Amino acid sequence: MLTRSAARLLSTQTRAFSTSSARQTKVAVLGAGGGIGQPLSLLLKIDPLVSSLSLYDIRGAPGVAADVSHIDTESTVKGYTADQLDEALEGVKVVVIPAGVPRKPGMTRDDLFNTNASIVRDLATSVGRVAPEAHILVISNPVNSTVPIVARTLEKAGVFDPRRVFGVTTLDVVRAARFLGEVSGNDPKNTVVPVVGGHSGATIVPLLSQNAYGKAISGEAYAALVRRIQFGGDEVVKAKDGAGSATLSMAYAGAKFTNALLRGLNGEKGVITPTFVKNNVFADKGVDFFSSNVELGQNGVEKIYPIGPLSAEEEKLLEACLPDLKKNIEKGYAFVA
């Protein structure tokens, strides 16, 4: 009986990642030995659109690779050590970057930025040299700054394509659906809302008015829901008592966005999800990157959708978002100036 239950669970997990064709893709995870990288590697191993996984980290990646390689799916897995980054990137079509450190007690945002900015810049430099046509998915925080760092690094190398660089903001979308589902008593499948802006605090703008159940939330309940979506990460850090951050839910969100991109690359139509990309919607305000609904296709970003109608509350949230987002982007640019 236990065996049947386990089999059903694995089957359900595998079906959670949609497929659109037989074509598969080689994917690299840079930072595969970390708190996000390990469960992300596991989830990508069971994604049927992944043909080969290259797992890289400064330590631990070969062990992670050996572990997940035993999973009974078709994809192959290989782990690479600190001095094998170029080998890990050879022939890769999609690069997912969860590398870096989480924010820890006593660490300032500047501390986090300085550490992760250097890591992301160096990894982007290698991707630009070895796999210049790869699609780069940035998970490393602060995403509002690390994505501009990747873009500017690739620009300096002469290989930046704005259709191929993504900040993974999917966890904000996942949280919004889950939390709205909780307060409205509905299945999260029915409470999906677009989340626009950036990927930290007040730059996260959930457009609850664009969902029938979200539109019904008002007053203190609305304010509490928005705050929970914006600062959900703090909830996890507190619950883990300083021992970690949102690694498992972030790995799930990262795998979910990677699968969406792979479906688009394989030719599936109508794959639309928010992601933090080069976006002109607020370029006149000095905001070069912005998360909004994007259609993913064979070239990566195929179409960027307008953010749509906003409620009065959402207008205020957006007004608060833009100045902070601009500063975050400028900080990323300045790092590689």
37 marked as part of a ligand binding site: yes
C-beta contacts of 213-219 below 8 A and 24+ residues apart: 213/180, 213/181, 213/184, 213/186, 214/180, 214/184, 215/311, 216/184, 217/180, 217/183, 217/184
For the cut 80, the answer to whether the pLDDT of residue 18 exceeds it is no
User: DSSP string spanning 79-148?
Assistant: EE-TT-HHHHHTT-SEEEE--S----TT--HHHHHHHHHHHHHHHHHHHHHH-TT-EEEE-SS-HHHHHH
Q: What is the pLDDT of residue 106?
A: 62
Q: What is the pLDDT of residue 4?
A: 43
Q: How many CB atoms lie within 10 A of CB 134?
A: 22
Kindly indicate the confidence band of residue 102, based on its pLDDT and cuts at 50, 70 and 90: confident
- Residues 262, 263, 264: CA angle, nearest 5 degrees: 90
Q: What is the DSSP letter of 276?
A: E
Partners of 78 in the β-ladder: 54
Q: What is the pLDDT of residue 91?
A: 97
111 marked as part of a ligand binding site: no
Kindly indicate the confidence band of residue 110, based on its pLDDT and cuts at 50, 70 and 90: confident
Q: Report which of 98, 78, 82, 99 is spatially closest to residue 90, judged by C-alpha positions.
A: 78
pLDDT in tens, 268-321: 999 999 999 999 999 999 999 999 999 999 999 999 999 999 999 999 999 999
Q: What is the pLDDT of residue 114?
A: 86
139 marked as part of a ligand binding site: yes
- Residues 16, 14, 92: CA angle, nearest 5 degrees: 95
91 marked as part of a ligand binding site: no
Amino acid, single-letter form, for residue 8: R
Partners of 53 in the β-ladder: 27, 77
Determine the Cα–Cα distance for residues 12 and 130; give it in Å rounded to an integer: 36
103 marked as part of a ligand binding site: yes
Determine the Cα–Cα distance for residues 52 and 74; give it in Å rounded to an integer: 9
For the cut 70, the answer to whether the pLDDT of residue 131 exceeds it is yes
User: Per-residue pLDDT averaged across 58-66, rounded?
Assistant: 98
Partners of 206 in the β-ladder: 195
pLDDT in tens, 189-198: 999 999 999 9
**More confident call, 32 vs 19:** 32
71 marked as part of a ligand binding site: no
Q: What is the pLDDT of residue 9?
A: 39
Q: Is 199 one of the catalytic residues?
A: yes
For the cut 80, the answer to whether the pLDDT of residue 225 exceeds it is yes
Determine the Cα–Cα distance for residues 218 and 171; give it in Å rounded to an integer: 23
47 marked as part of a ligand binding site: no
User: Per-residue pLDDT averaged across 62-67, rounded?
Assistant: 98
Q: What is the pLDDT of residue 241?
A: 87
Q: What is the pLDDT of residue 107?
A: 64
Determine the Cα–Cα distance for residues 336 and 121; give it in Å rounded to an integer: 8
Q: What is the pLDDT of residue 6?
A: 40
* For the chain, percent of residues with pLDDT exceeding 90: 86
For the cut 70, the answer to whether the pLDDT of residue 221 exceeds it is yes
Among 152, 164, 199, 331, the active-site one is 199
121 marked as part of a ligand binding site: no
Q: What is the pLDDT of residue 243?
A: 85
Q: Is 201 left (phi over 0), alpha (psi -120 to 50) or beta?
A: left
For the cut 90, the answer to whether the pLDDT of residue 10 exceeds it is no
217 marked as part of a ligand binding site: no
